[in-house]
Chains A and B, each alone.
Chain A
Amino acid sequence: MSFTTEPNIAAPDEFYEALIDAHRDLSIEQSHELNAKIVLLLANQVGELDVLKAVLSAARSNTLA
């Protein structure tokens, strides 16, 4: 199962700003929690298990590279 890694966010700068903004004034623990909740909410939005597994695997490979 493939998922898109080509640009798919119309306004990347705005997204990035919003992401960083969401973490504003949070402790590192709170930020970790926020990230976990973002992952869970986005995972539900995606829904398809094959896609989710491919994303998890891509993120892990990139981290270990």
Chain B
Amino acid sequence: MKSIDLPPEATGTEIQAMAFAYERSADQAAPAPVRHRVVVVGAGPVGLSLAIDLAQRGQKVLLLDNDNRLSSGSRAICFAKRTLEIWDRLGIGERCVNKGVSWNVGRVFLGDQQVYQFDLLPEAGHARPAFVNLQQYYAEAYLLERASALPNIEIRWKNAVAALRTVDDSEGGGVWLGVDTPDGRYELIADHVAACDGGRSTVRSLMGLQSKGRSFKDRFLIADVKMAVDFPAERWFWFDPPFHRNQSVLLHRQPDGVWRIDFQLGWDADPEEEKKLERITPRVNAMTRQALGHEVPFELEWASVYTFVCQRMDHFRHGRVLFAGDSAHGVSPFGARGANSGVQDAENLAWKLDLVLKGRAGDALLDTYATEREYAADENLLNSTRATDFITPKSEISRLFRNSVLELASEYAFARRIVNSGRLSVPATLFHSSLNTPDRDSFQSPVVPGASACDAPLKLAGADTWLMQHLGQGFDLLVYGESLPAAVSACPVNKLLVVPPDARPRPQAGAVVLHDHSGAFAQRYDATPGSVWLLRPDQHVCARWRSVSAADIAAALDRACARAADPALTKD
């Protein structure tokens, strides 16, 4: 595939105007359907992340997209710390942070009074901020550029999956796909299909499956406007502001001087009318009059009137078809849990599918993709539904309690904790995953088995660095102390030795030696000399010990690969 190089300063307009050529593939002339190991459907943030992750692990990936453009309009704009950490591993994190607007602080207003302020990353010592705001098309463009540089990924534009059926195991198994192109339909067979084709997933409907849940009778207007104002890089949320009575408004800063303003409109609003500039202008002017004391000229970048549903599929795995992102689950935008949870789906799936394809893990590992991400989706749905109920009360009494909480919040600290303008995306801790080795020893740290690794500032050969930068693509063993225990030395995985503040770091064969000069690592992980953590390839802790034997590590690795029951599988 031809590599796609973005001009370093490509503007949003240029990126949205990019169209990728449909090219006829040899598969279309093949006498029989050509078999592919992995077919990813949908080249959005989730499909692209998954394809890159698999390709970095050495897998060949065919990525099909029914269109030939990137996201039109800003769409998802808030990318969370965990997403940035994943994208660091995929090679685009730095670019997103450089282009994006970093922010940690949110403010909540009732009327024209601030009632509450929160800091999503109250402690220093993390490489990445709580969030960056970045238009979805930029994120997709960076992902696409990265994907196009990987020879293992083939992207076929204007290839729309239009038919699907399961291939019987007697015929080699897999999934048969009928794909529509400008040259008509062709067929192919996939050993595995990852359906990353969005909320209106074609794959889902072709399989007769549904995503079920609650719909909310409310409409919201997104107005992305370009204006020269000097609001800080913070999330501002108004309940019942004087410029938009009885509804809520959310303000966010994006790159290029673009502001996301999200107005709650109520169910009776006319979606077509409200998208018109002449309807949007007075709303924006009223806001700037309130916030700045005067109107400012602005340009409308993108407008959309949306409703939302909080829903998910019952099962994210159906045989050889795995659903990830919006195809599997949908949430309200309050909380930034859509794209962020989708990227986490992708990272959860990538290493598992890779190990299964390499014969190093059993098929049961793919079941844990579904169970772990269904659990995470439930957490996201719960948070999203609760926030939505607070923001858009469904009854008079619900509104009464909501307003009472807000009024109490300006005076009493306890009520501020109840105010819910969206609980913003943090990765789910997979407490009960079957891949975790239950604790044998006691730790006082939130980085439990099932939690994603927590960053810490460290030094490498005297120079500042971050823990997350040294985690590999595979399993990692994280050791705290002055030298590696013998049990760890023998284990063929990436090893990091974190040396205590008062000790002198010395080179260690087979390990990256990092110095916990500030003690932040020890504090965050509750580390004592000899403590060891086993991290999965998706940087989630799956086991930890105060002292460890080689057998402990081997058993934990087997467990984390769901191969405990199948000794025939190749070990790491």
Contact = CB atoms under 8 A, between A and B. Distances in A.
Interface stretch (B183-191, B270-278, B402-410): B402-410
A41 interface: yes
Contacts of B408: 37, 40-41
A33 interface: yes
Contacts, number: 22
Contacts of B405: 40
Interface string B414-428: 110010000000000
A32 interface: yes
Interface string A31-65: 01100110111001000000000000000000000
B414 A37 contact: no
Interface in B368-417: 400-401, 403-405, 407-408, 412, 414-415
Interface residues of A, number: 8
A44 B412 CA distance: 11
Contact of A36 (B400, B412, B414): B400
Nearest to A29: B400
Contact of B400 (A33, A41, A44): A33
Contacts of A33: 400, 403-404
Contacts of B415: 40, 44
B418 A32 contact: no
A49 B405 CA distance: 17
Contacts of B403: 33
A37 B408 CA distance: 7
A55 to B, nearest CB: 15
A37 to B, nearest CB: 5
Contacts of B404: 33, 36-37, 40
B407 to A, nearest CB: 7
Lowest 9 CB-CB distances: which A-B pairs, in order? A36-B404, A44-B414, A37-B404, A36-B401, A36-B400, A32-B400, A33-B404, A37-B408, A40-B408
Interface of B: 400-401, 403-405, 407-408, 412, 414-415, 418
Interface of A: 32-33, 36-37, 39-41, 44
5 contacts: A36-B400, A37-B404, A40-B404, A41-B412, A44-B412
Given A36-B400, A40-B404, A41-B408, 15 more contacts: A33-B400, A33-B403, A33-B404, A36-B401, A37-B404, A37-B407, A37-B408, A39-B401, A40-B401, A40-B405, A40-B415, A40-B418, A44-B412, A44-B414, A44-B415
